[in-house]
Amino acid sequence: MNIVLVQPRGFSWTPHQSVEKVACIMPPVGLASIAAVLRAAGHRVAIIDGALDSGLTNSRIADRILAHHPAMVGFTATTSGFPDAYDLCRQVKERSGAVTTVFGGVHASWGRGGVLGSHPAIDVVIAGEGETVMRLLAEGERTSDRCFFRNGGAIASGTRETPLIKLDDLPFPAYDLLDGFPKRYLSPLFSYPRAPCASVISSRGCVYRCSYCDRSVFGAGFRWNSPEYTFGQMERLYRDYGVRHVNFYDDLFTLNRLRVETLCRRLEDARLPLTFNCIVRVGHIDRELIALLKRGRCFLVSVGIESGDQSFLDTHKAGLDLVAIRRDVELLHKNGLWVKGLFMMGFPGETESSIIQTREFACSLPLKDANMTAFTPFPGAPITATIGEYGAFENDWAKLDCVNFAFVPHGIASREALEHHRALFYRQFYSRPFMRRKVYPKILFQSPHSVWRLIRHAPTFLGYRKKLDSEAEGKRNRSCSHRRG
């Protein structure tokens, strides 16, 4: 069977389109994993990643899909990318009604059969991980309890329980099916020392219960690849593709301590010229672990901090406290690892005072980099059911991307106020003395490829910043005029 797997462009707001192409394009590893399973079963598979050619219209992307004469087309989509993915699906279905269209990913896993009721161009929805169910579909089977489909005028699902995959049984993702891999894909600036880069997912699931997290795909359990499997995948990326840096996209990379210890020792013994990034959770950090990560050539660790207001951590990310955050971040820094802080703004109950607390807390930590996202009530997140009690929520799927402030808490005057505070956060964070003394003098030597990218695409980055500043100023002026009126 000819099968095409598609990652849509997924644009949610147009100011990002020009800069996304030069700032960060990550490979769709999930699709590559499904493709590897289908190919091993004897099917002909192609992957089309809309992010690589973001200037193309969906009509042109549909042309590329149909040029493969597929019998089945599978789409993956986040909530914000779902409207764009469905528009593409509709165009494919209109031009080739015989094609079976399948949707998976986090939004489909949340919506399950309900997605079919309001989207007639979709034939099948897969909830949860897709490798086994997609293989069954390609074999003509719709028996999985995670498969939802049309049965006449009704929505039906399979009844046979589909067990979770043993991750080491999967073939390595089919990176070779990604057009131009690895050089056409770009890791976030200054997050790696050498290019090209690749992404690896070496575990699935999360045992924690953050209020804003949708765990519809992998659930509340935690599974992992063995260190031998993960090392083999990294070695393959280096030997076959020339990859020099790996981004681990695991939510809980260090949760299984023995796995990380074994992997780092294996990387040290092999002496591969390969570095990596990972996420570490506060409370799971000590000098021994840091030493192991360094021996494995870890370059940067990201730490979920979220807020400088303890009350928000207690409510939305239980088990985290500001004292432990400062202790672990300083320990990572003092022992030679570069640290990136992950923050969030716009929590239910947020006020300008709590935003300032977060900004001051972030600026007081020895962080090399930071990411400030918008608090986003995703459809499958626990907080979403009652989110209307805490503020104004614009439930537009295309804007639920952690960039737009789709939710404005009662304690904040407007969406524009949140955008203003986010811009102020970045300005103050990157202009603090720590950056001037400890980070900027080392950037050219630590991440020369990022410096080259920044210089090469300087007009794009500067134009994007000017555009956002101009739009923010215009919004503030209109907001002031409205209040005066």
The pLDDT, as a whole number, for residue 484 is 46
CA 316 to chain centre: 20
Distances (CA, A) of 146 to 140, 156, 228, 328, 378: 15, 11, 30, 40, 21
Q: Are 246 and 199 in contact (CB under 8 A)?
A: yes
The pLDDT, as a whole number, for residue 483 is 44
> Listing from the earlier edge strand, what are the strands of the sheet with 44-49?
44-49, 2-7, 72-76, 100-104, 124-126, 147-151, 154-157
The pLDDT, as a whole number, for residue 289 is 93
Q: How far apart are the first and last CA of the chain?
A: 64
C-alpha closest to that of 23 among 473, 465, 469? 465
Helix, strand, coil distribution of the chain in percent, nearest 5: 45, 20, 35
Q: What is the crossing angle of helices 82-95 and 58-66, to 10°?
A: 50
The pLDDT, as a whole number, for residue 19 is 60
- Give the Cα-Cα-Cα angle 461, 463, 466 (nearest 5 degrees): 110
Q: Which residues of 64-84 are buried (b: 16+ CB within 10 A; e: fewer)?
A: ebbeeebbbbbbbbbbbbbbb
The pLDDT, as a whole number, for residue 468 is 56
Give strand pairing partners of 370: 341
Q: Are 148 and 127 in contact (CB under 8 A)?
A: yes
Between CA 256 and CA 289 the distance in angstroms is 11
The pLDDT, as a whole number, for residue 104 is 96
Query: How is residue 159 written in tokens?
Result: 């009844």
Query: How is residue 472 written in tokens?
Result: 């923010």
Query: How is residue 177 written in tokens?
Result: 């099916």
Burial of residue 89 (number of CB atoms within 10 Å: 0-12, 13-18, 19+): buried
Q: Which domains does the chain have, with CATH numbers?
A: 2-157 (3.40.50.280), 187-442 (3.80.30.20)
Q: Are 372 and 345 in contact (CB under 8 A)?
A: yes
Query: How is residue 74 written in tokens?
Result: 């599978």
Three-state SS across 221-265? CCEECCHHHHHHHHHHHHHHHCCCEEEECCCCCCCCHHHHHHHHH
The pLDDT, as a whole number, for residue 121 is 97
Give 348-394 as a DSSP string. Answer: TT--HHHHHHHHHHHHHS--SEEEEEEP---TTSGGGGGGGGTEEE-
**Residue for token pair 């923050």:** 343
CA 172 to chain centre: 20
Between CA 192 and CA 446 the distance in angstroms is 8
Distances (CA, A) of 207 to 140, 146, 223, 224, 252: 35, 21, 10, 13, 9
Q: Are 146 and 104 in contact (CB under 8 A)?
A: no
The pLDDT, as a whole number, for residue 203 is 95
Secondary structure letter of residue 435 according to DSSP = I
C-alpha closest to that of 232 among 294, 171, 278? 171
C-alpha closest to that of 234 among 186, 202, 191? 202
C-alpha closest to that of 308 among 368, 361, 374, 352? 361
The pLDDT, as a whole number, for residue 21 is 63
Q: Are 340 and 191 in contact (CB under 8 A)?
A: yes
At residue 469, what is the residue type? D
pTM recorded for the entire structure: 0.92
User: pLDDT in tens for each of the 485 residues of the chain?
Assistant: 999 999 998 764 444 455 666 678 999 999 999 999 999 999 999 999 998 987 889 999 999 999 999 999 999 999 999 999 999 999 999 999 999 999 999 999 999 999 999 999 999 999 999 999 999 999 999 999 999 999 988 999 999 999 999 999 999 999 999 999 999 999 998 999 999 999 999 999 888 888 888 877 777 788 999 999 999 999 999 999 999 999 999 988 999 999 999 999 999 999 999 999 999 999 889 999 999 999 999 999 999 999 999 999 999 987 889 999 999 999 999 999 999 999 999 999 999 999 999 999 999 999 999 999 999 999 989 999 999 999 999 999 999 999 999 999 999 999 999 999 999 999 999 999 999 999 999 988 899 998 888 888 777 777 666 665 665 555 555 545 444 44
Q: Which residues of 339-359 are buried (b: 16+ CB within 10 A; e: fewer)?
A: bbbbbbbbbbebeeebbebbb
The pLDDT, as a whole number, for residue 317 is 86
Secondary structure letter of residue 303 according to DSSP = E
